[in-house]
Structure 1
Amino acid sequence: MSSSKRWAGLAVLCASLLVVVMDMTILSLALPAIAADLRPGAVEQLWMVDVYALVLAGLLVTASALGDRWGRRRMLVAGFATFGAASVAVLLVDSPEGVIAVRALLGVGGAMIMPSTLSMVRALFTDPRQRATALGWWGATAAVGAALGPIIGGALLEAFSWHSAFLVNVPVMAVAMVAALLLLPESRSDRPGTLDPLATVLSVVGMVALVYAVKHTGEHGVDAEGVGTAVVAVAALVLFVRRCLAQPDPVLEVRLFRSRAFTAGTVTALCTSIASIAALLLLSQWLQLVRGWSPLESGLALLPMAVAGVVCSPLAPALAERIGARPVLAGGLAVGGLGFLLVFLLPEPLSYVGVAASLVLVGAGSGSLAVASAAIMSGAPESKAGSAAAIEESSYEIGGVLGVAVLGSLAAAVYRADLPARDLAAAGLDAEASGVVRDSLGGALEVADVAGPGLAAQATEAFTHSLAWAGLAGGLVMLAAAALVWWLAPRDLDVSAGH
């Protein structure tokens, strides 16, 4: 294959990844419009948000294993078709259940697309140096997609109905299908994993239960449902790992974790995802609810993170070649951690200039994802590229869930602590109104329209305070992860020398 065709193929893979990542963040802006139109209950709104990640995480292992056997390009094109069809189906939706079904089908398509893109990069670029550069652009695309979701979503929602947040996927998927067939070679493993229905069921049950348990605990605290689901998740995943270890060519090659470099790359991907998703979630709410900016203005205000990621991701492999991969992996996590700590250290009232500086640091730190991907994919043989891709993509999904659940829950707890029920009752609010105020800043601002501006000021101050404490926790987690990765990664790790 010619060099120009190879890089054109990378462009197709990056474009498809861009859409899938955007879909993870775009619904947060569309949800108020969907709620106003379809009147979903609180549980239905929760499922609209959660079902995409649940299905995507649950099917990653299965989709990557099938792609290794059936053909990664075929799996990719099938994922494009599924994603596009689900996006068109939103035109038929007239109920909350319909939106949930569409989001679930998008999750199926996303699970087929995401590991296939990473496996195809491994297949397209056999030269380790070119592969590291290609993975740098792949990592930059992921950073851009997370930030473009709010921007594009905000622009669409200001001009069109909420359906546009789904329909924007259709033309991209149509072009991607044609381009993939013309530009991408077929690729499959010469040693595909054993078709193991039991292992497949265990992986789906384990991943779905794990993601659900983390989300549920983050939203409702520790209760019987969360603990029970967590026990199911651990049991299913332990049985899945044991079954994989007992087979020479398992559905997922978990033995890859014997490599310290592979594990270091995976930890980097996991923790960078925690930082990126949590920062987007918490800061987008602060911009819209505290600063009072529109969805489009808020999306544009988050752009420094994407710009920093785009600049640093392609540069990271070259930097790793000069100073070593270990300092880049650990340094990226440390820089992202400093971005979180900056939110805690900045004086109140928090200014956008300080938030923008924090976003730049978090985005710059995400540049190490390029080296993490190279460490993961270069550390796996071609026959196990699907397993490596599934593990990396799973780390992104789980990281995003943990970021929202853990840091989001901490912020919510601090927010509620700053608004004690007895003080709200003393201010004349009944139990129902008090519950709405303590549940979310959005609810507090609605109640403040009736109760008076004093409540709005108190609630926004509490939210900003909660954001600062989430920044402290996120920063400490990132710095601890940097130390762990420094210990895990070999001193002489060279991502430009892989298989």
Structure 2
Amino acid sequence: MTTHHPRTDTTAAGHPGGHPRRWAGLAVLSASLLVVVMDMTILNVALPSLTADLQPSSTQQLWIVDVYSLVLAGLLVPASALAERFGRRRALLTGFALFAIASLTILVADTSEHVIAVRALLGVGGALIMPTTLSLIRSLFTDPVERAKALGVWAAMAALGGALGPVVGGLLLERFDWHAAFLVNVPIMVVASVAALVLLPESRSATPPRIDLPGVALSVVGMTAFVYAVKHLAKSGVDLEGVAAAITAVVLLTLFVRRCLRVEAPMLEVRLFVGRAFRAGVLTALATSIAMAALLLLGAQWLQLVHGWSPLQTGLALLPLAVGGLIGSPLAPGVAQRIGARAVLAGGLAVGGLGFLVLFVAPHPLSYAALAVALLLVGIGMASLAVASAVIMAGAPTDKAGSAAAIEESSYEIGAVLGVAVLGSVASAIYRSDLPASDLTAAGVGAGDVDAARESLGGALEVADGLGGPGATLAADAAAAFTDSLAWTGLAGGVLLLVTACVVARLTPKDLDLSDAEH
């Protein structure tokens, strides 16, 4: 028995530019993306309160933080395939429901294992929501110029969500305990579900991908192993576990790609990478995500641990990133129409790179003003992400929108992991080099505490608290070392983004026009 799948573009049939409720639908999709992205960063603020209450082991604490991204990254491809086959709105509503249910169950979570399970279920919901928002935008907006503007709004919401997470978390923790960081999702998901039912039409691919169970297994285990390997190697160094995870990821993902190339309607259309503009868009999305994740993580730690700012103060201090994103992203498609998509893709990355370099060249000791300028420039540089989304989605036929969305969202997830792992490792290496073990021992730090002090600034401050008078010197030295590491990470991040800008400029066709990029 065959299943009839109406063409994706029937949702906009007879309506020039797309579906008549497309802009209202965009509001629903943007709001849902905002919540999912906020959920990635809100836990950073709630984690100290959660840890004090549940007393998780160090391993459990890592899983509480990491399981969301592990599940989300692993399920992006199969979730997108399901949406393309059975309906994008249906997948989105299922994601909303899972997100709300998972958030609500936090009320009965009284152990670390329960919180880990809740975070895993949130990852499943996020995997259904994030790529579906992109493929629905591709379906709702058939006019390339309008679609580029819509994706600019989408990119702005991504920037805003990442920066708002700490602010919302800080506000909630001023009045409530850590449960509120989860429960805030419930009413938002309920409202989003009602709005989606009213405003969003159902759509699916006319040539739906196969739900290939061996391919699902290869994709899920391969992506999860890759993300786990990067996280583990960054935290623990090169060891057997990390290397084994990395080898597993490479083997399984290679088999998955080969499987997709052999079948007619693959679960992921990897042939999209043939297009130079498509590759440039994905590389831009990857680099932008690396920059955002690293800067938010290190900036938040520096403000809280070096300056002693509260979670709410820290969240507000990180808002220049969102301001820059709200300025650059919506304007980017219009600018691209005037000066060319290539100039905006490469130029946005270059502006972000200059933002990172501000941290390195600013007068020392580093001030908040320098961090604010860096955040603002990186946010403005996210204009490249808005155009990258337009290029990626235009580079895929409407029937392959799910694959394009899965690839783009995977690049965000991988970029976030690499940003924390790679640039975070650079910061850790500089921090440790500025705190030699011999100097700590000479200062009276016990042998058992030396490693803890050199592991992180938080560890050094704990050791300093237990030393009494001499601890003040250790705390000051550790704070100076962390500030120095932030400055040198600015150099590394700046070089990375500027080199990427050059590569993207070479990859992107000079005459690429967003108004007819799909042709």
- TM bucket, shorter chain: over 0.9
Which residues of 2 match residues 216-255 of structure 1 at below 5 A? 216-255=232-271
Gaps of 5+ in 1: none
Give the SS at the match of 1:126.
coil
Alpha-carbon deviation of 1:498? Answer: 3.8
State the alpha-carbon separation in 1 of the partners of residues 466 and 248 from structure 2. Answer: 45
Alpha-carbon deviation of 1:5? Answer: 2.2
Question: Are residue 78 (structure 1) and residue 71 (structure 2) matched?
Answer: no
Q: TM-score, normalised by structure 2?
A: 0.95
Q: Which residue of 2 aligns with 1:258?
A: 274
State the alpha-carbon separation in 2 of the partners of residues 79 and 457 from structure 1. Answer: 46
Letter in 2 for 1:492: D
Question: Are residue 405 (structure 1) and residue 421 (structure 2) matched?
Answer: yes
Q: Which residue of 1 aligns with 2:71?
A: 55
Gaps of 5+ in 2: 1-11
Give the SS at the match of 1:274.
helix
Which residues of 2 match residues 174-193 of structure 1 at below 5 A? 174-193=190-209
Which residues of 2 match residues 25-104 of structure 1 at below 5 A? 25-104=41-120
State the alpha-carbon separation in 2 of the partners of residues 194 and 27 from structure 1. Answer: 36
Is the contact made by 1:415 and 1:462 (CA closer than 8 Å) also made in structure 2? yes
Question: Are residue 199 (structure 1) and residue 226 (structure 2) matched?
Answer: no
Q: Which residue of 1 aligns with 2:448?
A: 432
| Farther-moved stretch of structure 1 (276-285 vs 421-430) | 421-430
Letter in 1 for 2:421: A
Q: Which residue of 1 aligns with 2:477?
A: 458
Which of 349, 354, 360 is residue 344 of structure 1 equivalent to? 360
Alpha-carbon deviation of 1:368? Answer: 1.3
Q: Which residue of 1 aligns with 2:186?
A: 170
Which residues of 2 match residues 83-482 of structure 1 at below 5 A? 83-451=99-467, 452-482=471-501
Cα deviation, 1:131-180, whole Å, max 9, x if unaligned, reads 00000000000000000001101111111000000011111100000100
State the alpha-carbon separation in 2 of the partners of residues 367 and 301 from structure 1. Answer: 21
Alpha-carbon deviation of 1:4? Answer: 6.3
State the alpha-carbon separation in 2 of the partners of residues 38 and 417 from structure 1. Answer: 34
State the alpha-carbon separation in 2 of the partners of residues 412 and 44 from structure 1. Answer: 22
State the alpha-carbon separation in 1 of the partners of residues 497 and 322 from structure 2. Answer: 19
Cα deviation, 1:216-273, whole Å, max 9, x if unaligned, reads 1111111111111110000001000000001111000000000001110000000000
Q: Count how many residue pairs are aligned between Structure 1 and Structure 2.
A: 499
Q: Which residue of 1 aligns with 2:5?
A: none
State the alpha-carbon separation in 1 of the partners of residues 386 and 51 from structure 2. Answer: 38
| Farther-moved stretch of structure 1 (3-12 vs 126-135) | 3-12
Give the SS at the match of 2:205.
coil
Letter in 1 for 2:149: T
State the alpha-carbon separation in 2 of the partners of residues 71 and 463 from structure 1. Answer: 49
Letter in 1 for 2:281: G
State the alpha-carbon separation in 2 of the partners of residues 24 and 85 from structure 1. Answer: 17
Is the contact made by 1:328 and 1:368 (CA closer than 8 Å) also made in structure 2? yes
Which of 504, 508, 511 is residue 489 of structure 1 equivalent to? 508
State the alpha-carbon separation in 1 of the partners of residues 262 and 39 from structure 2. Answer: 37
Is the contact made by 1:310 and 1:367 (CA closer than 8 Å) also made in structure 2? no
Cα deviation, 1:273-304, whole Å, max 9, x if unaligned, reads 00001100000100111111110001000011
Runs of 4+ in 1 over 3 A off after TM superposition: 1-4
State the alpha-carbon separation in 2 of the partners of residues 28 and 496 from structure 1. Answer: 40
Q: TM-score, normalised by structure 1?
A: 0.99
Letter in 1 for 2:43: L
Is the contact made by 1:65 and 1:193 (CA closer than 8 Å) also made in structure 2? yes
Which residues of 2 match residues 13-24 of structure 1 at below 5 A? 13-24=29-40
Give the SS at the match of 1:468.
helix
Letter in 2 for 1:265: G
Cα deviation, 1:369-401, whole Å, max 9, x if unaligned, reads 110000000110000000000000000000000
Is the contact made by 1:445 and 1:456 (CA closer than 8 Å) also made in structure 2? yes
Give the SS at the match of 1:354.
helix
